[in-house]
Chain A
Amino acid sequence: MALGLTGYVVLAIILLTVAAFFMARSRAKSTAGGDIRLLHSLPNYYGYNAAMFAAVPAFGVLMIWLLAQPMIIENSVFKLIPERIVSEGSSRGLVMSDVRRVAEGLDIAVARGALTDDEAGSMRADADDVRSILGGVGVALGSDVEPEVLQAAQQYRSKSETGTFWMSTTVVTLALLGAALAIFVTNADFRARNTVERGALTLLILAASLAILTTVGIVLSMLFESINFFRLHPWTDFFFGGSWAPNFRGDSDLSILPLLWGTLYISVIALLVAVPIGLFAAIYLSEYAGPKTRSTAKPLLEILAGIPTIVYGLFALLTVGPALVSIFGRGDNGLLGVDWMSGATAVLTAGLVMGIMLIPFVSSLSDDIINAVPQSMRDGSFGLGATHSETIRQVVLPAALPGIVGAVLLAASRAIGETMIVVLGAGAIAKFSLNPLEAMTTITTRIVSQLTGDTDFASPETLVAFALGLTLFVLTLGLNVLALYIVRKYREQYE
């Protein structure tokens, strides 16, 4: 496929950038009379500097232009469309997508030679059969084209064309100017190294702020939707109500408490499984295992961390759940001869599997923390005639305790936010119950179920998902902050 005009522009900027690099470099060398020791910076820095000046402003403007142009053009073209079509065709967005589609169709028709450029600009919907011409070049339209839509499409085309022309001119000029300026200032005393350094710094800051801004954006969007939810639904019911009974005909009970209970119950079971096993594994690996065992066992344990959580979910549903049922359920046919558990999905199922998922997490964090306890501390204890396990219990673990607590909190926040295992393993019944063999549900599973299927984004039953998500976010954020604070405080202790 041939490059569009924009493609050529990008190519031109790249060529200019490369050219600027070499020209600035050789100019720098020649101003120093060939002796690079007279230069303030190494010759390559002058090149980088010129390349930066050529490429950065040009690409920046190009990007902004590409984003802004369609919006501006759509706004101006939309004025051509009469009210009549919008009300028939349901919404502005739909009509505009028709316009774009016709405009694209015309472009293709011109490119294929089915129409000349002039014909495409002067066609009349009542005179020419636009639908069949476009159909002929492979652009199928749902209905005949309204004259206003065709006109709007033609406007759209011509404006985009002018826009793109100006964009190309501006951007290439900018690149030329930038390169020329950078080459012009290049001489032996110019501090190219420092400008390049600032450029690198700006790039890094940009990346960092982008990451932070996205987080802020996510939180804000959740916040706005949550506010919408609280306009439609009393917040007292959400935070203090007693039951969760969404009802898509309206008038639902949407309280977070039963879900929170399920979430915390499952997380506690998961931690009861993961913390002792993970911690003991970490103690074995860091204190007792020889280098050989360690170098094989540690990666093996960490493979567990790489298993996708949906696989754990399947494991819960197909293996652990039925196994638990055969122990605690099935009446006289079961192992215990009791009938306490009716289905495979239960708090215990999800908790156990989630615990297994968290083992490598806890063990690898604890292992790092235990290894950070200085050897001199162990020596001190051995030197007083303590055994290995006394040393671990009385010196190593107390010293590592704050870090281990931090690791456990991080694991807890993962457990609370975990979704796939509970979707498959925990069930869908929101209730307060102490029985771990019953199905229960969590915040994350309810978010999934409120947002899947046919949803109306204006009803409290759907919007509650955002309020739930925000609460979850605040909860895990709080845990993470606490955990990081503790871990960091502990790190400083030996430094």
Chain B
Amino acid sequence: MNDMRILERDVDTNTIKIAARGVQVYYGDNHAIKDVDVDIQDKTVTAFIGPSGCGKSTFLRCLNRMNDTIDICRVEGDIHIDGEDIYDKRVDPVQLRAKVGMVFQKPNPFPKSIYDNVAYGPRIHGLAKNKAELDEIVENALRRAAIWNEVKDRLNAPGTGLSGGQQQRLCIARAVATEPEVLLMDEPCSALDPIATAQVEELIDELRQNYSVVIVTHSMQQAARVSQKTAFFHLGNLVEYGETGNIFTNPEDPRTESYITGRIG
């Protein structure tokens, strides 16, 4: 843990973007998230850490109602984004997901060309007035995801033909291209080499200027590098949530400490 660069970053604002209260998630009889309360701030990077199977992905998927697509999944409690209850009947989950973008744990490019993969969201939401504008959006997204140089000569090649790490960056570009207000990233760097990881982290830092980013990661160093707030999950409970610096230097809960120092998980 000595090499960990813990930067004292000031959190730009204190506006709360996402407020979750008493969230419970059940997969059939499996109680996967137990009574989680959390406030995620705007223009901030929040990291979710915790051992495998503790419910990080599950909680992340609650924030854009992706759990709706799983038949056996049941979500209880309140989640408000910008003060609006996203589980309200009047909220259209489709609209919500355009606002709250997501990068999945496993890269899942569509079996289309690289260009069409990135252009998918902008096309659906009508973000580009013409082809030139669309081209620009695609190029920008690919550049921000640090993959432009690798694919600029083969934009018409299938996205599934890329390497695992390239696919993951393609998925990041795809999510960024829709200009979401909140970006949920589930282990976006799990298949990336250090250089690409650094580039993605740069992107995350840049996104923070305008958006709120939630990132799930198994790398303590990464959490420490990119996030201002960190939440530690364990067995479905939110054990500790606070300033990243505090969590890593003097955690309050013994479970957090033993996880960070590598004793559980």
Chain A residue total in the interface (Cβ 8 A): 22
Complexed CA–CA distance, A394 and B119 (Å)? 12
Q: Which of B104, B112, B125 contacts A383 (CB 8 A)?
A: B104
Q: Which residue of A lies closest to B105 (CB)?
A: A376
Contacts A398-B112, A493-B160; A385 near B98 (Cβ below 8 A): yes
Complexed CA–CA distance, A381 and B116 (Å)? 12
Q: How far is the CB of B10 from chain A (nearest CB, A)?
A: 31
Is the CB of A380 closer than 8 A to any CB of chain B?
A: yes
Q: A residues 305-337 with Cβ under 8 Å of B? A: none
Q: Chain A residues near B247 (CB, 8 Å)?
A: none
Q: Chain B residues near A398 (CB, 8 Å)?
A: 110-112
Complexed CA–CA distance, A488 and B106 (Å)? 25
Q: Are B174 and A384 in contact (CB under 8 A)?
A: yes
Contacts A383-B97, A385-B98; A394 near B108 (Cβ below 8 A): no
Q: Mark A34-46, 1 if CB is under 8 A from B, else 0.
A: 0000000000000
Q: Are B124 and A384 in contact (CB under 8 A)?
A: yes
Complexed CA–CA distance, A123 and B135 (Å)? 105
Complexed CA–CA distance, A293 and B97 (Å)? 28
Contacts A380-B104, A380-B108, A380-B110; A386 near B160 (Cβ below 8 A): no
Q: Mark A349-378, 1 if CB is under 8 A from B, else 0.
A: 000000000000000000000000011111
Q: How far is the CB of A237 from chain B (nearest CB, A)?
A: 49
Contacts A380-B108, A380-B171, A395-B110; A385 near B69 (Cβ below 8 A): no
Q: Chain B residues near A380 (CB, 8 Å)?
A: 104, 108-110, 171, 174
Q: Which of A376, A383, A384 contacts B106 (CB 8 A)?
A: A376
Is the CB of B217 closer than 8 A to any CB of chain A?
A: no
Is the CB of A382 closer than 8 A to any CB of chain B?
A: yes
User: Main secondary structure on chain B at its contact with chain A?
Assistant: helix
Q: Are A385 and B112 in contact (CB under 8 A)?
A: no
Is the CB of A387 closer than 8 A to any CB of chain B?
A: yes
Q: Chain B residues near A384 (CB, 8 Å)?
A: 97-98, 101, 120-121, 124, 174-175, 178
Q: How far is the CB of B31 from chain A (nearest CB, A)?
A: 22
Is the CB of A302 closer than 8 A to any CB of chain B?
A: no
Is the CB of B153 closer than 8 A to any CB of chain A?
A: no
Q: Chain A residues near B160 (CB, 8 Å)?
A: 493
Q: How far is the CB of B250 from chain A (nearest CB, A)?
A: 36
Is the CB of A399 closer than 8 A to any CB of chain B?
A: yes
Complexed CA–CA distance, A399 and B104 (Å)? 19
Q: Mark B83-112, 1 if CB is under 8 A from A, else 0.
A: 000000000001111110110101011111
Q: Are B124 and A385 in contact (CB under 8 A)?
A: yes
Contacts A390-B124, A394-B120, A493-B160; A383 near B111 (Cβ below 8 A): no
Q: Are A386 and B171 in contact (CB under 8 A)?
A: no
Q: Are B175 and A383 in contact (CB under 8 A)?
A: yes
Q: Chain A residues near B66 (CB, 8 Å)?
A: 379, 382-383
Q: Are B125 and A385 in contact (CB under 8 A)?
A: yes
Is the CB of B64 closer than 8 A to any CB of chain A?
A: yes
Q: Chain B residues near A375 (CB, 8 Å)?
A: 69
Q: How far is the CB of A17 from chain B (nearest CB, A)?
A: 53
Q: Chain B residues near A382 (CB, 8 Å)?
A: 66, 69, 94, 97
Q: How far is the CB of B148 from chain A (nearest CB, A)?
A: 20
Is the CB of A93 closer than 8 A to any CB of chain B?
A: no
Q: How far is the CB of B64 from chain A (nearest CB, A)?
A: 7
Q: Chain A residues near B106 (CB, 8 Å)?
A: 376
Q: Chain A residues near B71 (CB, 8 Å)?
A: 290-291
Q: Are B178 and A385 in contact (CB under 8 A)?
A: yes
Q: Chain A residues near B95 (CB, 8 Å)?
A: 385
Q: Which residue of A lies closest to B94 (CB)?
A: A387
Q: Chain B residues near A374 (CB, 8 Å)?
A: 108
Query: Which 5 A-B residue pairs are closest in the complex by CB-CB distance?
Result: A385-B98, A383-B102, A376-B108, A384-B121, A385-B97
A-to-B contact residues, CB < 8 Å: 290-291, 374-387, 390, 394-395, 398-399, 493
B-to-A contact residues, CB < 8 Å: 64, 66, 69, 71, 94-99, 101-102, 104, 106, 108-112, 120-121, 124-125, 160, 171, 174-175, 178
